[in-house]
């Protein structure tokens, strides 16, 4: 009997939600002037990034966000209307609606409401400065407001992300994620921003309940939970009713991994994806406004991975989930012979 995991079956509404959630990730609280003191430039950049993660906790506002992303050779665009009132955020795009109240996120796809689980908070997110070179400089004017730009570079010096933070409020007004060759892979930018009390009543729907997650310290037999995916560290393990959810972060980008036992029905996956292969494992790849989605099956487990990292960073990280388990003898051989593997 073919079994299709919930994250794959519900990928279409989740894809809609990602557009709105991407906009939500651009909202942050004010930070006090002069808070940096004598911090180094890298520490100043890190502090700016940390403050932008406290999205929509303080300011009421409304705005218009333009989101662009590459889907193969095609550049796609969407306009997202965002309203924040009392910490509850509403995002609208193409008739679909997302409400986010912090602990719960609700998606209206057409006439149907869906409650989706939010990654549970547990563990400590690593510092972005550990794996990325962070610098700051005067940023571009965005929506008529002056900004400070934070640039995160790879070890080879190529830029992975550029963000523009509002000097007056600390709101993150623009974000660009770049490929290794300098092309913008995806971006968001506020084209309009009105601060202060909104006239819109932002009320999340009543009577809906997202799937409950419980944080766990180890995963059940049959699932895998590497401590790292590339430079990203495992922050959270959670048990859901139909599988295991893992959340990884390198301090700058995050990767969510949902694992569920079963057999993947490839014909039931949504349109728009492309087939690819990694270490002999066949995958379906979707390019979304907020990142890349990879779906595959291995050893009776279906994996759905979502990441906002550049494709090269994401692909390098998921190899830990696609590589077959190595025997104890092979691992001993790696340890003994590794120093001599010069070629």
Q: May I ask the CATH architecture of the domain 214-336?
A: 3-Layer(aba) Sandwich (3.40)
Q: Which residue has the tokens 């997110």?
A: 125
Give 33 or 260, the one with higher predicted confidence. 260
Q: What is the pLDDT of residues 178-232, one digit of tens each?
A: 999 999 999 999 999 998 866 666 665 665 555 556 778 888 888 999 999 999 9
What pLDDT, on a 0 to 100 scale, did the predictor assign at position 163? Answer: 93
Are residues 166 and 58 in contact, defined by beta-carbon separation less than 8 angstroms?
Answer: no
Q: What is the pLDDT of residues 74-117, one digit of tens each?
A: 999 988 888 888 777 788 877 777 777 665 667 766 666 666 55
* Region at 293 (left for phi over 0; alpha for psi -120 to 50; beta for the rest): beta
Give 156 or 34, the one with higher predicted confidence. 156
Tokens of 115: 């409650």
Candidate CATH numbers 3.40.50.10860, 1.10.3720.10, 2.50.20.10, 3.60.15.10; the one for domain 6-195: 2.50.20.10
Geometric angle at alpha carbon 139, from 138 and 142, rounded to 5°: 145
Please, which pLDDT band fits residue 24 given cuts at 50, 70 and 90? very low
Has residue 279 got a pLDDT over 50?
Answer: yes
24/334 Cα distance (integer angstroms)? 44
What pLDDT, on a 0 to 100 scale, did the predictor assign at position 324? Answer: 55
Q: What is the pLDDT of residues 305-338, one digit of tens each?
A: 989 999 999 999 988 888 655 455 544 554 555 5
What pLDDT, on a 0 to 100 scale, did the predictor assign at position 116? Answer: 56
Q: Could you tell me the pTM of the whole model?
A: 0.78
Tokens of 301: 């487990």
In the chain, % of residues over pLDDT 90: 32
75/80 Cα distance (integer angstroms)? 17
Residue ranges matching CATH 3.40.1000 in the chain: 214-336
What pLDDT, on a 0 to 100 scale, did the predictor assign at position 16? Answer: 34
């Amino acid at each position: 009997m073919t079994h299709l995991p919930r994250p794959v079956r519900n990928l279409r509404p989740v894809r809609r939600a990602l557009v709105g959630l991407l906009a939500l990730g651009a909202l942050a609280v004010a930070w006090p002037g002069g808070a940096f003191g004598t911090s180094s430039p890298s520490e100043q950049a890190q502090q700016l990034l940390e403050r932008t993660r406290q999205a929509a906790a303080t300011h009421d506002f409304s705005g218009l966000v333009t989101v662009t992303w590459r889907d193969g050779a095609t550049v796609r665009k969407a306009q997202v209307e965002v309203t924040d009132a009392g910490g509850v955020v509403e995002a609208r795009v193409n008739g679909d609606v997302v409400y986010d109240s912090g602990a719960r996120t609700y998606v209206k796809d057409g006439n149907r409401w869906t409650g989706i689980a939010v990654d549970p908070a547990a563990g400590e997110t690593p510092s972005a400065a550990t794996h990325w070179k962070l610098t700051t400089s005067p940023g571009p004017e965005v929506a008529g407001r002056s900004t400070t730009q934070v640039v995160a570079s790879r070890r080879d010096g190529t830029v992975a992300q550029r963000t523009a933070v509002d000097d007056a409020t600390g709101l993150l007004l623009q974000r660009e994620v770049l490929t290794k060759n300098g092309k913008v892979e995806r971006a968001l930018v506020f084209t309009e921003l009105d601060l202060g009390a909104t006239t819109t009543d932002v009320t999340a729907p009543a009577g809906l309940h997202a799937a409950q997650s419980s944080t766990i310290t180890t995963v059940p037999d049959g699932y895998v939970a590497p401590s790292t995916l590339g430079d990203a560290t495992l922050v959270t393990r959670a048990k859901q009713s139909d599988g295991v959810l893992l959340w990884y972060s390198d301090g700058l980008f995050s990767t969510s991994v949902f694992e569920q036992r079963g057999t993947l029905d490839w014909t039931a996956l949504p349109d728009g994806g492309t087939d690819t292969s990694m270490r002999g494992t066949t995958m379906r790849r979707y390019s979304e406004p907020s990142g890349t989605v990879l779906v595959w099956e291995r050893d009776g487990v279906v994996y759905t991975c979502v990441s906002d990292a550049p494709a090269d960073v994401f692909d390098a990280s998921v190899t830990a989930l696609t590589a077959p388990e190595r025997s104890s003898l092979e691992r001993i051989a790696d340890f003994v012979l590794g120093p001599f593997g010069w070629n």
